[in-house]
Amino acid sequence: MKEAARLSLALGLICLVAAGLLAFADAKTREPRARAANAERQKALAVVLPSFDNDPVSDKATVNWDGGEVTFYRARKGGQILGLAGEGVSNQGYGGRLQVLVGFAPDGTLGTVLVTAHRETPGLGTRVTDRREVTSIWSVFSACGAQVDCGGSAPRVPPCTYLDQYSSGQRLFRTTDAPFRVKQDGGTVQAVAGATVSSRAVADALSRIAAAFGANQGTLLGGAPAASK
């Protein structure tokens, strides 16, 4: 009996110290973490939106949709809405929560899709979520093949076979096509072999964004920056 008390006390004490330490670190790093996430968002928005002269991060509207939040960022030039970016999450990823950012035209045609936060398995699920450039080893060795950024053009987005089918496949995806489904579920989206769960999760997040856009199209495209609802 005395021994059991001693053991529980030791384990309890260690847990207490660990919990205290984590709580402290969480509180201390909360603000810098949010700042880092915001900087990442700015960068991602510049990729998915057409060129704009407003601040899309402040010109946003949040919609509660199907148990999750969907946030829309508007890109304007001279007050005119040229494009939107929807940010939504799915909890069906292999590693749980997965956040998707997608740009689309005011008429609902989907543009570049980015997975901005995820915990998918490296090497398997990441073939769905990650955009990466495959360069040839020969082009690296030969100076003439070096990839020089000519400037002027928009930043090139590295390819991802899965993500690109939404924006540059044989057919255009529109927000009105939602819900998007992978072929295994009777849809038109080609899932990545060996990463069906991750493929599904991205389709799920996109469907939420598209449905939320469809239901709030009027408010989102309406004149002045709408209040979030």
Partner 1 sequence: MSLTREFTKGLWRENPTLVLVLGMCPTMAVSSSMKNALGMGVATCFVLVGSNAVISLVRNVIPRKVRIPCYIVVIASFVTLVEMLMSAYAPPELNAALGIFVPLIVVNCIVLGRAEAFASKNGVLSSILDGLGMGAGFTLALMSLGAVREFLGNGTLFEMQVVPGWPQFLLMQFAPGAFIVLGFFLAGMNGIQMRRARLQGKTYTVPAELGCAHCSICRLGEDKAP
CA distance 132 to 60: 29
Query: In this chain, which of 64, 91, 119, 145 binds partner 1, going by CB under 8 A?
Result: 119
Torsion, Cα 66 56 83 115, to 10 degrees, reads -60
Q: Does position 1 bind partner 1 by CB under 8 A?
A: no
Site string for partner 1, 171-200 (x = CB under 8 A): ----------------------xx------
Q: Does position 57 bind partner 1 by CB under 8 A?
A: no
Handedness of CA 105, 108, 112, 117 (dihedral sign): positive
Q: Does position 149 bind partner 1 by CB under 8 A?
A: no
Query: Is the Cβ of residue 7 or residue 146 nearer to partner 1 in the bound state?
Result: 7
CA 97 and chain centroid, separation: 11
Q: Does position 6 bind partner 1 by CB under 8 A?
A: yes
- Contacts with 185 (C-beta within 8 Å, 6 or more apart), sequence order: 200
CB of 112 to partner 1, least distance (A): 17
Residue given tokens 């599904």 in the structure block: 200
CB of 88 to partner 1, least distance (A): 20
Q: Does position 39 bind partner 1 by CB under 8 A?
A: yes
Q: Does position 25 bind partner 1 by CB under 8 A?
A: yes
Q: Strands 80-93, 60-65: parallel, antiparallel or unpaired by DSSP?
A: unpaired
Asked if 132 and 112 touch (Cβ cutoff 8 Å), the reply is no
| Interface positions with partner 1 (CB under 8 A) | 6-7, 10-11, 14-15, 18, 21-22, 25-26, 29, 32-33, 36-37, 39-40, 43, 95, 118-124, 126, 132-138, 140, 193-194
